[in-house]
Amino acid sequence: MDYGLQKLSEEKVFKDPVHRYIHVRDQVIWDLIATREFQRLRRIHQLGTTYLVFHGAEHSRFNHSLGVYEIVRRMIDDSFSGRPQWNDSERLVTLCAALLHDLGHGPFSHAFEKVFDLDHELFTQKILLGNTGVNEVLRRVAEDFPQKVADVIGKTYPDKLVVSLISSQIDADRMDYLQRDAYFTGVSYGHFDMERILRVMRPAEDQAVIKQSGMHAVEDYIMSRYQMYWQVYFHPVSRSAEVILVKILQRAKVLSEEGYTFKQEPVHFKSFFDKTYDLADYIALDEYILMTYFETWIREDDEILSDLCDRFVNRRLFQYIDFNPAKEYRKLGELDVLFRKAGIDPEYYLVVDSSSDLPYDFYRPGEEEERLPIHLLMRDGELRELSRESDIVDAISGKRRTDHKLYFPEDMLKEGKKKKVLRQQILSILNT
């Protein structure tokens, strides 16, 4: 029998705290979950360093990937199946793309990509198409099947409806992570009526649309997303941990380039330092490996590397103040000088971090990132862009909000014995 159509003899379920159960009936999905590349996602936190603020947020990308799959499965099987706008032959490629969309994430993705100038979406593509267990399973469906899945994730797939289920302003990815991250952090934001949204979701030509009667559920979803960004994802304390992480990787790179002799050689990082990495190098990495390095590097002779690793591993984070880079650049320059005088390298110990989010936007042609707006399906069959119907969404539409913080090691400034006056001076500048 055609491998792509094979069903398990009995439906398998995974107990999931967010969706109660994840249901798997397709042999292909079952086999993909068992691959090494997919199992690797267990070793990467869904929310990077957030667990250092919300101690419950210790869940992995493995969790989230199953959740996205389950939501897409429900969209298709419960809401779309049997409707003329939905082509059921797209079912398997959509489910595979949902399950695998985060496959290329590396350890502490954000920081890692930033330092080594990588792109996890590119790695997702490479894993799908390269010499991997995932590719082997996908190829058993059809020779061009891996490419199809890659196209859906890369948003170049011809059927835009399929793409929209996984990448749009109201996709399964967001729906899962909002609920899941709310559940594990324990915050009371992040809840919205997904059951209702799934019930009122309809397949349309280029995207999934929402029946007008479900507008309020969508409003609620957008507000949940907004709250999660500012309450959880951009929490200044987890950004502090992230800043330190970036600095550790930068320092290790610099040391390596300068010919420093590590007690614990950065074997796994070498190819990233000199940009010679291949896919296998990337897949070999996870947060267990990175953390093991950080723990070991605490005993390195380089004081900066040792201190930063100690900070990260033992949660001795940087303090922060609100900071407006546009207006306060002079203050930053002044601090830079004083830090150097005090013997604290500002390159590693005085860091501006900015977070920014656009809660919702309608289509603005020509803009940097063209966003597909959410459309309501009116009673008369017409489609209307959400912000034209919803006062609340209209009110926040297109309004980007940005937050800047300046991070620094308050403990060093307070506890240091040498250059006390200088340190006092720095502290007083920071606290005004």
Which residues of this chain interact with a copy of itself, rule CB under 8 A?
Answer: 13-18, 20-21, 34, 36, 39, 42-43, 51, 54-56, 58-60, 62-63, 66, 183-189, 191-193, 195-196, 199, 216-217, 219-220, 223, 226-227, 230-231, 284, 286-289, 291-292, 295, 313-316, 391-392, 395-396, 399, 401
Q: Which is nearer to a copy of itself, 63 or 135 (CB)?
A: 63
How far, in Å, are 175, 214, 227, 321 from residue 220 at the CA level? 12, 10, 11, 32
The least CB distance from residue 242 to a copy of itself, in Å, is 16
Q: Which is nearer to a copy of itself, 101 or 311 (CB)?
A: 311
Note the Cα 287 to chain centre separation in Å: 14
User: In this structure, which amino acid lies at residue 367?
Assistant: E
Paired with 203 in beta bridges are: 208
Q: Which is nearer to a copy of itself, 42 or 384 (CB)?
A: 42
The least CB distance from residue 305 to a copy of itself, in Å, is 18
DSSP 363-402: --TTSSSPPPPPEEE-TTS-EEEHHHH-HHHHHHTT--EE
The least CB distance from residue 336 to a copy of itself, in Å, is 26
Q: Which is nearer to a copy of itself, 193 or 281 (CB)?
A: 193
Residues 106, 111, 115, CA angle at the centre, nearest 5°?
Answer: 100
Q: Check: CB of residue 197 under 8 Å from CB of residue 210.
A: yes
CA gap 403, 353 in Å, rounded: 8
Q: Which is nearer to a copy of itself, 290 or 350 (CB)?
A: 290
CA gap 282, 274 in Å, rounded: 14
The least CB distance from residue 223 to a copy of itself, in Å, is 5
Q: Which is nearer to a copy of itself, 16 or 410 (CB)?
A: 16
**b/e per residue 331-357 (b: at least 16 CB within 10 A):** beeebeebbeebebebebbbbbbebeb
CA gap 408, 140 in Å, rounded: 53
The least CB distance from residue 334 to a copy of itself, in Å, is 23
The least CB distance from residue 426 to a copy of itself, in Å, is 21
Q: Which is nearer to a copy of itself, 347 or 357 (CB)?
A: 357
Judge residue 195's burial from the number of C-beta atoms within 10 Å of its C-beta, 0-12 exposed, 13-18 middle, 19 or more buried.
exposed
Q: Which is nearer to a copy of itself, 155 or 315 (CB)?
A: 315
Q: Check: CB of residue 286 under 8 Å from CB of residue 107.
A: yes
The least CB distance from residue 268 to a copy of itself, in Å, is 9
**C-alpha gyration radius of the chain:** 24
Q: Check: CB of residue 211 under 8 Å from CB of residue 167.
A: no
The least CB distance from residue 207 to a copy of itself, in Å, is 22
